[in-house]
Amino acid sequence: MYIPFVKIYLTGNEKQNISQTSSLSGDGFFTRQCHAWLEQNLRCNKALLTPSCTAALEMAALLMNLNSGDEIIMPSYTFPSTANAFALRGAIPVFVDIRPDTLNLNETLIESAITAKTRAIVLVHYAGVACEMDTIIKIAKKYELYVIEDGAQAILAKYKGRYLGTLGDLGTYSFHETKNITCGEGGALLINNPHFIDRAEIIREKGTNRSSFYRGEIDKYTWQHLGSSYLPSELNSAFLFAQLEAAEYITERRLNYWNIYHEGFADMEDSGLIRRPIIPAECEHNAHIYYLLVTDVDKRDKVLAHLKQKGIMAVFHYIPLHQSPAGKLFARAHGELINTESISKRILRLPLFVDMNENMLQFIVETTKEALLN
């Protein structure tokens, strides 16, 4: 049996949508449908599709008018895009440690990392499990900081009943092929602070007010501000809209498989061989990732090798950003990042996709247990 780490789920409507596109360029019918779906279902002020979550983060950095030397507080345990977007504007990512339970930014360490140069808190909802948003927003208001939610993994996940990506000033999503809802490459910027709406449209359209022109609000468009080309192809939007329409079904299926994993590894946790994911009571996750934390890096590597030998493609991530060459050049760490460094060596991610079945899941659980016990 061969089990890939990820496999794109097709709803059956993607090809039909693509065949109905009348243009390949951005902001056509299906892009507008995706915008409407995100705004109505997530209840955000404005949603704009982008070519990637990276692009959405770059737009967020532009909207903040960052200057060289400004600082943003963020976790080191994340993908490089989270830091790159702000470093490209000359800002300095300041890394603080993560919580050992959720693997999210440790909200109790944020305040001590704030300086006169701090402009924003950039948080990551790891595995679709929410950060402690009440505390983070309270700190941000106290120090007049922006809150940017990197929700690359978090679509349809919630914190106290509200969708992740809609609680901060700005939120971002990824629709990469590894994500729950996908169009291969794609993303979205959610604008919750109304102050940013008009300029976000300008930044996304190469720094011009072309969106206003297309709506008939002005008779010509001109260069208004710094910007770039942040529109996805209409083909991607057509594919994505089919996925969004099935988003609840996709999430439900993934949650079912996540729960099977969780029950299957309960005895291993009781034996002290692993630790399963922890979901705080105020969080509703979206089953983006099922991971195990093993005892050390040697055990993790042995389990990965055994799974690969049996045809199961499991992985680990991330290499902490503060330990990477670019992280040492463009960022700095605040305090010791003990949990970040420990977890990055012990985490093991198991396959999780909609087209799985219980036989696959049982095979993965049994094979993983064999490796853990040897």
Summarised one tens digit per residue, pLDDT across range 15-74 is 999 999 988 888 899 999 999 999 999 999 999 999 999 999 999 999 999 999 999 999
Residue 212 exposure: Cα atoms within 13 Å on the Cβ side: 18
- The mean pLDDT value of the chain amounts to 97
CA distances from 272 to 102, 305, 308, 313 (A): 18, 21, 24, 24
Residue written as token pair 């659980």? 365
Summarised one tens digit per residue, pLDDT across range 162-184 is 999 999 999 999 999 999 999 99
Residue written as token pair 């709406």? 197
The token pair at 140 is 């941000």
- What's the pLDDT band for 214 if we cut at 50, 70, 90? confident
Q: Which entry of 46, 158, 179, 369 is annotated as an active-site residue?
A: 179
> 197 in helix, strand or coil?
helix
- What's the pLDDT band for 213 if we cut at 50, 70, 90? confident
pLDDT(4) > 90:
yes
Domains detected in the chain: 14-245 (3.40.640.10), 247-373 (3.90.1150.10)
pLDDT the model gives residue 193: 97
DSSP string, 44-104: -SEEEEES-HHHHHHHHHHHTT--TT-EEEEESSS-HHHHHHHHTTT-EEEEEPBPTTT-S
Higher pLDDT, 59 or 217: 59
The answer to whether the peptide bond before residue 126 is cis (omega within 30 degrees of 0) is: no
CA dist., res. 327 & res. 92, Å (int): 10
CA distances from 345 to 85, 296, 316, 324, 370 (A): 26, 7, 8, 14, 20
Pick from 83, 100, 70: nearest CA to 328? 83
pLDDT the model gives residue 1: 82
pLDDT the model gives residue 25: 83
Summarised one tens digit per residue, pLDDT across range 130-145 is 999 999 999 999 999 9
Average pLDDT over residues 82-91: 98
pLDDT(91) > 90:
yes
Residue 179 annotated as catalytic: yes
pTM comes to 0.96
pLDDT(216) > 90:
no
pLDDT the model gives residue 23: 83
CA dist., res. 103 & res. 94, Å (int): 17
Pick from 373, 337, 354, 300: nearest CA to 78? 337
Summarised one tens digit per residue, pLDDT across range 188-197 is 999 999 999 9
Q: How many CB atoms lie within 10 A of CB 2?
A: 7
Summarised one tens digit per residue, pLDDT across range 309-319 is 999 999 999 99
Q: Provide the pairing of β-strand 283-284 with 158-159.
A: antiparallel
pLDDT the model gives residue 26: 84
Tell me 320's DSSP state: P
